[in-house]
Structure 1
Amino acid sequence: MTETEPEKRALGDSDRKLLSHLRIHRRKNRDLKPAKLAPNLTPGQRIADQVAATMGSWPFIIIQTLILFVWVVLNVTAYVQRWDPYPFILLNLALSFQAAYAAPFIMMSQNRQQDIDRRDAENDYKINIKAELEIELLHEKMELLHQKIDFLREKEVLSLIEEVRRLCDQRAGK
């Protein structure tokens, strides 16, 4: 039995082709530098990422809360001329504009991140398949080694039996 026979037994042609493809893919990606793996972002994508990162941060929330608090206090107490009295129509308009423009930026950034995550998940799946196939090959090779060891043990036991018989015949003949 050759070493390739267990591989043929355990893995079909499609599995061996897939494993070969994954090994080649790994070698190609190992040579790539991180800069080559990162996609080139368009200015719009960079802006969308920056807006999403800024609006999703605690400093932005704290600063916006302070601005809203000062706006409301100044308009309620009339410390400064009331430029936006109680129902705060101007404030509502400003916040509506902010939400109207922020939502598409955030959605663009999330969609791009979703594409990256999908690509990473696909790569993880390929790695898991490759690991599974490699482990299966290792199991087969271990089984082959066990079979060879068992064969050698049997051969050794038979040779020892023959040697014992020969020695017994030799003693009986003396």
Structure 2
Amino acid sequence: MTIDRLDQPRELRRSFRPHYAPEAFGKLAEEIARFLGTARFLVYMTGFVALWIGWNSLAADWLAFDPYPFIFLTLMLSLQASYAAPLILLAQNRQGDRDRVQYEQDRLAYERNQADIEYLTREIAGMRRSIGELATRDFLRSELQRFSEERPESS
């Protein structure tokens, strides 16, 4: 009988489930979703469907692999859509996660900036108060003039 110890890692167990790196899979899903949203994909898909229909409509009967009503083409397009939809949703979820992180970083930066602005505002107010107590040039001139007028001339 073995006792599980919490201070030691567990032993690796064999698993028959497929292993994949979620980050790598997510990046691949984003790249595919990004490609599916381009005009290039639409042109490629239109060309593929036109070629498929043209081949199966105009080729000899023994060369046509998907005769009218193009059931295999419909199946292939449904298969493509069934894979595209979850990949697009996965890419949107990852984008939402990135947006939340970016929002949080923007909020923290805003709070830091707000604190800096408040600090600088207090500093400027303190400096204005200090400057108000300093003697200005005009004040010093008037005091010197008053002092010289009060002082008797000694010669």
**TM-based fold match above 0.5:** yes
Name the residue aligned to 1:66.
47
Q: Alpha-carbon deviation of 1:171?
A: 4.1
Q: TM-score, normalised by structure 1?
A: 0.63
Q: Deviations over 1:90-127 (max 9, x none)?
A: 11111001111111112112101210111011101111
> Which structure: greater helix fraction?
1
Map of 2:78 onto structure 1: 96
Which deviates the most, 125-134 or 55-64? 55-64
* Distance (whole Å) between structure 2 residues aligned to residue 114 and residue 55 of structure 1: 19
Runs of 4+ aligned structure 1 residues displaced above 6 Å come to none
What are the superposed Cα offsets for residues 5-59 of structure 1, whole Å, 9 maximum, x if unpaired? xxxxxxxxxxxxxxxxxxxxxxxxxxxxxxxxxxx85343233223223323343
**Matches of 2:111 and 2:138 in 1, distance apart?**
40
RMSD over aligned Cα atoms: 2.8
Deviation at 1:67, TM superposition (A): 0.7
Question: For residue 111 of structure 2, what is the aligned residue in structure 1?
Answer: 129
Given the alignment of the two structures, is residue 48 of structure 1 paired with residue 24 of structure 2, yes or no? no
Task: Identify which of structures 1 and 2 has the higher relative contact order when contacts are C-alpha pairs closer than 8 Å and 6+ apart.
Answer: 1
Distance 1:141 1:79 in 2: 88
Q: Which residue of 2 aligns with 1:11?
A: none
Q: Amino acid of the residue matched to residue 66 of structure 1?
A: G
Distance 1:113 1:144 in 2: 46
Question: Larger Rg: 1 or 2?
Answer: 2
- Alpha carbons of 1:152 and 1:41: their partners in 2 closer, same or farther (altered >3 Å)? farther
Aligned partners of 1:45, 1:135: CA distance in 2, in Å? 40
Task: Determine what percentage of the aligned residue pairs are the same residue.
Answer: 31
What is the aligned counterpart of 2:38 among 57, 62, 70? 57
Q: Which residue type is aligned with residue 79 of structure 2?
A: F
Q: Which segments of 5 or more consecutive residues in structure 2 lack a partner in the other structure?
A: 1-20
What is the rounded CA distance, in whole Å, between the counterparts of 2:136 and 2:54 in structure 1? 94
Calculate the TM-score normalised by the size of structure 2. Answer: 0.70
Q: Which residue of 1 aligns with 2:129?
A: 147
Residue of structure 2 in register with 1:24 after alignment: none
- Name the CA distance, whole Å, in 2 between partners of 1:107 and 1:136: 43
What's the offset of the Cα at 1:76? 2.7
**1:114 and 2:88 correspond:** no
Equivalence for 1:75: 56
